[in-house]
Amino acid sequence: MSELVVTGLGITCPGVAKPSDAAAPRQEPSPGWFDVSCALPGRGYKRLPAACQYLLAAARNALADADAPFDGVPDERRGLVVATNNAAMELTEHQDGVILASSADEIGPLTAPFFVLSLFASRLATEHGVRGFCLTANSPRTAGLQALRLAGRALACGRADLLLVGVTEERLPESEPGSSHSDCGAAVLVCGPAASTAAETAYGDCRIGDVFLEPGGEPDPALTRAWNVVCAGAPGPVLVDAVLDDSAIGGAVASWLARRPVETRMVRAGAGCLTPMRHVVGALAGGGPERVVITAAAEGAVTMARVRPARHAGEQTISHRTMSARS
């Protein structure tokens, strides 16, 4: 089971000022909530799709938070995993509309390539000279937590020495079902292997497990097995953040949790894979007892992240962390 140690956090979400607020209830994005000129000064950002801007901004925050960790890492040893479901839905809606109404010749060139979901990660890789590898995860709802597992495995297989794990989402256009509670914003974590990470710089670690539930099957044994693997070797956290929808799969996970000796905070899941990661970020930034963030897609995938915050005295600002790391 691959483990990741987190040394930097960055978040760009409506109504979220700092990583320790990341798990606060989702706020509706108000017009102008994100100011690209402020978050990303300079050329080359204003024309990017919004979800790419959120991702770049959150990555800057995370790298600053970890005190420029890529500086000592050769570009071919830097890695990146980005999760998204809906970053390009608004754009492809528009592009398809243009084709239907007139012709492909009318599609705007600068944003055109972003119909490809993976380009959001590629743009981030180019921004920070990541040449080890760049991987996009796009499983419905579970991709954010799965990105942590993909990252941990990549580290274990020696594909990089340090990496960014990010999630970015844009609201669904109103023409798509489920738009009214869809994720919006980005979160980025700086992650490295436990062996080479200095303890005083760590926010904590994560261990991820996942399973696939068949419709109409018996969920409990599979869920319990996955839980036991993820929470192995510990008294077991009793705090759970469950990011679930009202599908049959979401309901099955909720019922299973209700029968376990855990204290569950139920969080309504909308379209996208950002909300579960927000809870991971919030848990790490806030310190406190370990917890499990669990999420499920109506399509069957269930992913659990056991988050063990290192001992921090509450939330620390960037300057505090930099000072304490150097003292």
Partner 1 sequence: MSDSSQVTVDKEELRSLIADALELPVKEIDDHTHLVEDLEVDSLMALEIVVNLEKRYGVKMEESDFKQVTSLAQVVDLVSAKLAASS
Partner 2 sequence: MSRRVLITGLGAVSPLGSGVARFWQGLLVGGARPVPLPDPRAHMRSPLMYLVPGDAVPVAPAHHGHVPLGPGPRMAVAAAREAVADAALGPQFCSAMPVVMGVEMGNAAMHEARRAAGTPADPDGPWNPLTVTASAAATAVRARGSNVSVGNACAASGYAVSVAADMIREGEAEIVLAGGAEGPTRVGLGVFNRLGAADPEACRPFDRHRKGTVFGDGSAMLVLESAEHADRRGAVPYAELAGFAWSCDAHHLTAPEPSAVQAVRAIRDALTDAGTDADRIGGVIPHGTGTPLNDAVESYALREVFGERCDRLPLLNLKAMIGHTAGAAGAFGCLAAALLIRHRSMPASPALQDPDPECPVWIPQDHPVPLAPASVLVNAYAFGGTNVSLVVTEAQEAA
Q: Which of residues 186-215 bind partner 2 (CB under 8 A)?
A: 210-215
Q: Is 25 exposed, middle or buried (0-12, 13-18, 19+ CB in 10 A)?
A: exposed
Q: Does 113 bind partner 1 (CB under 8 A)?
A: yes
- Alpha carbon distance 309, 204 (integer Å): 4
Q: Contact with partner 2 (CB under 8 A): which of 105, 195, 313, 314?
A: 105
Q: Contact with partner 2 (CB under 8 A): which of 24, 27, 68, 75?
A: 75
Q: Does 117 bind partner 2 (CB under 8 A)?
A: yes
**Of 234, 231, 252, which is closest to residue 242 (Cα–Cα)?**
252
Helix (H) or strand (E) holding 126: helix 119-127
Q: Does 112 bind partner 1 (CB under 8 A)?
A: yes
Q: Does 110 bind partner 1 (CB under 8 A)?
A: yes
Smallest separation (angstroms) from partner 1 to the CB of 102: 12
Q: Does 2 bind partner 2 (CB under 8 A)?
A: yes
Q: Dihedrals φ, ψ of 307, to 5°?
A: -110, 120
Q: Does 123 bind partner 2 (CB under 8 A)?
A: yes
Q: Does 100 bind partner 2 (CB under 8 A)?
A: yes
Sequence letter at residue 290: E
Q: Does 108 bind partner 1 (CB under 8 A)?
A: yes
DSSP symbol at 13: B
Query: Which residues does residue 192 pair with via DSSP β-bridges, in sequence order?
Result: 5
Instruction: Choose one: 17-25, 169-177, 257-265, 286-294; the region binding partner 2 (CB under 8 A).
Output: 169-177
The encoded tokens of residue 305 equal: 């992240």
Query: Which residues does residue 165 pair with via DSSP β-bridges, in sequence order?
Result: 81, 189
The encoded tokens of residue 16 equal: 């979220």
Smallest separation (angstroms) from partner 1 to the CB of 43: 5
Smallest separation (angstroms) from partner 2 to the CB of 285: 27
The binding site for partner 1 (CB under 8 A) comprises 43-44, 46-47, 108-110, 112-113
